[in-house]
Structure 1
Amino acid sequence: MGEYERANNSHDISCVVPFIAEDAVYGFSDGSHRGIEEIRSAIGKTFATILDEVYEVRELEWPVLTSDVAVCRCRFAWTGVVNGELRSGRGRGTNVIVRRDGELKMLHEHLSS
């Protein structure tokens, strides 16, 4: 999750996409996004909307943790500039991570405020 957090804070979608499974489903405040192309678009939109964003993942809990599947519950917070004004938000997140071809990939992410 630390590497994923750093990738998101790069604000470079090409750094984030390698962490995401092709068949992933993400749920954000603007709706659900299914598959890597929809997710890429949604994250890219966020990067374009929230400038200088700092995204933090906190209070991680791992109710499921095996060599092939992990489930993470966490709190998140962000700060950044939206329409010229400093803004911030926080909420809860759930992530499902799976091992695919020897690599860990995000299969599901749900963030809610």
Structure 2
Amino acid sequence: MDILKSYIKATNTHRFEEVKKVLHPNAKYFFGDKTCQTIEEIQAYFENAWDLVKNENYEAHGVEWLVKKEHSATCTYTYFYEGYVNGEYTSGRGRATNVFVKEGNDWLLIHEHLSGMPG
């Protein structure tokens, strides 16, 4: 679905105003180290990550759409990121679940859950 591509593209702008365009007002994120329950908390988390990992590139690999309905869709994928921390190249990956809902004509992200890879 195009909404996941739009979300990844917005994330890679490193401008939260772009990300916010695809977020539901009640979006909730489960990160490995924190739960963000408001747009302001999500924005702070994203901006902190962008400050820490310079020139970050974020990708979704192996996307599997578990549910595609008229007004909701859920996918899982392996996320991959790369960038520079303190001038040193770094990269990593983990697991992601995204839940999207359709509001009017727009698909919006209402939930994201990120976790590390098992074992």
Q: Smaller-chain TM-score range?
A: over 0.9
Aligned residue type for 2:77 = C
Aligned residue type for 2:108 = K
Give, in whole Å, the separation in 2 of the partners of 1:65 and 1:31. 28
Asked whether 1:39 is paired with 2:42, we answer: yes
| TM-score (ref. length: structure 2) | 0.90
Deviation at 1:100, TM superposition (A): 1.5
Deviation at 1:65, TM superposition (A): 0.3
- 1:63-109 CA distances to partner (integer Å, 9 max, x unpaired)? 11012000011111000001221111101100000012321110100
The partner residue of 1:27 within 13, 30, 35 is: 30
Q: Greater share of strand residues, 1 or 2?
A: 1
- 1:39-83 CA distances to partner (integer Å, 9 max, x unpaired)? 111111111111000111011111110120000111110000012
For 1:67-86, what aligned pairs fall within 5 Å after superposition?
67-86=70-89
Asked whether 1:64 is paired with 2:67, we answer: yes
Q: Give the count of matched residue pairs.
A: 113
Unaligned runs of 5+ in 1: none
Moved segments of 4+, more than 2 Å: none
Report % sequence identity: 35
Aligned residue type for 2:106 = E
Give, in whole Å, the separation in 2 of the partners of 1:104 and 1:36. 17
| TM-score (ref. length: structure 1) | 0.95
Deviation at 1:14, TM superposition (A): 1.1
* Corresponding residue number in structure 2 for 1:48: 51
The partner residue of 2:106 within 98, 103, 106 is: 103
Unaligned runs of 5+ in 2: none
Aligned residue type for 1:86 = Y
